[in-house]
Amino acid sequence: MTKDGRYRDWAGLPPEVTWSILSRLGTVDILEKAQKVCKSWHSVCEEPSMWRKYNMHNDLGFMDFLTRSRHVAMCRNAVDRSQGGLVEIDIWYFCTDSLLNHIADSSRNLRTLRIAMCHEVNDGLLQAAGKLPFLEELDISYCSFEEETLKAVGKSFPNLKTLKLNYPVLSYSDDEFAIAIAGSMPELRNLQLSGNPYMSNRGLRAILDGCLHLEHLDLRECWRLDLVGDLEKLCAERIRVLRRPGDPTSGPHHMFWL
């Protein structure tokens, strides 16, 4: 209602104004509420440009079967609406191999893929890798992937600039995961490895030798590292933003620092 008591004609707004308003809403609000307001809003919500970025987090972490199924269905709907224009997707907990393959099959131009805490993603990452040649950022924190998977993924994403591999569910027992990163991801600028307690100085040196463009490096809670002497000097010279093993964290989702 306006100040003079008249009702505002939301349905009569120019499409570009409606788009600007609706693009500020969350995914659930658009799919379950906004698109049902009127025909003009529904039409705008169907536009592929509304779905270039998709962000859905479940902050509780636990979902029953119905909630998970609902989230998967909404995600598939959004991916289909993007008509290949999706460039960024950020989903926690509920991604599966099947959903990831649907995303990859439909979104060749994807630049950012964040599937932190998605424990049902396994071989799907390998299957999707070859379909996303332009991917620049990958977040697989709190997930479980073998060293060979990391190596294959790195080779499939030649443009990868950011890798977030914080607190892996699969605890790597040696430096092989670091060596896999070093040997297959030479273009990395941002690498987050918080909570990898078994990486030693050998693994870190391999990363520094293999990822020559690295600027941001998060090593918080990598307790086996000993940043002294030449290694400390090398980090200081090469890394613009360095988080050391003993640096404080800011909570369970601190892996999203930039």
For residue 191, which of 170, 212, 169 has the smallest C-alpha distance?
212
- Kindly state whether residues 39 and 59 are assigned to the same domain: no
Quick one: pLDDT at residue 7?
52
Quick one: pLDDT at residue 36?
75
> Each residue of 117-150: pLDDT tens digit?
998 898 899 999 889 999 999 999 999 888 889 9
- Kindly state whether residues 39 and 69 are assigned to the same domain: no
- Kindly state whether residues 141 and 119 are assigned to the same domain: yes
- Kindly state whether residues 147 and 205 are assigned to the same domain: yes
Give CA–CA dist 181/150, Å, rounded.
7
At which of 12, 28, 46 does a domain end?
46
In the predicted model, residues of the chain with pLDDT beneath 50 are 1-2, 252-253, 255-258
Query: Would you say 157 and 182 are in contact if contact means Cβ atoms under 8 Å apart?
Result: no
- Kindly state whether residues 26 and 62 are assigned to the same domain: no
The domain tally of the chain equals: 2
- Kindly state whether residues 148 and 250 are assigned to the same domain: yes
Q: Which domain holds residue 9?
A: 1-46
Give CA–CA dist 4/2, Å, rounded.
5
Query: Would you say 211 and 181 are in contact if contact means Cβ atoms under 8 Å apart?
Result: yes
Quick one: pLDDT at residue 8?
57
Indicate which CATH number applies to the domain containing 142.
Answer: 3.80.10.10
- Kindly state whether residues 114 and 176 are assigned to the same domain: yes
Quick one: pLDDT at residue 61?
58
Task: State the pTM of this model.
Answer: 0.86
Quick one: pLDDT at residue 258?
37
Quick one: pLDDT at residue 31?
78
- Kindly state whether residues 58 and 146 are assigned to the same domain: yes
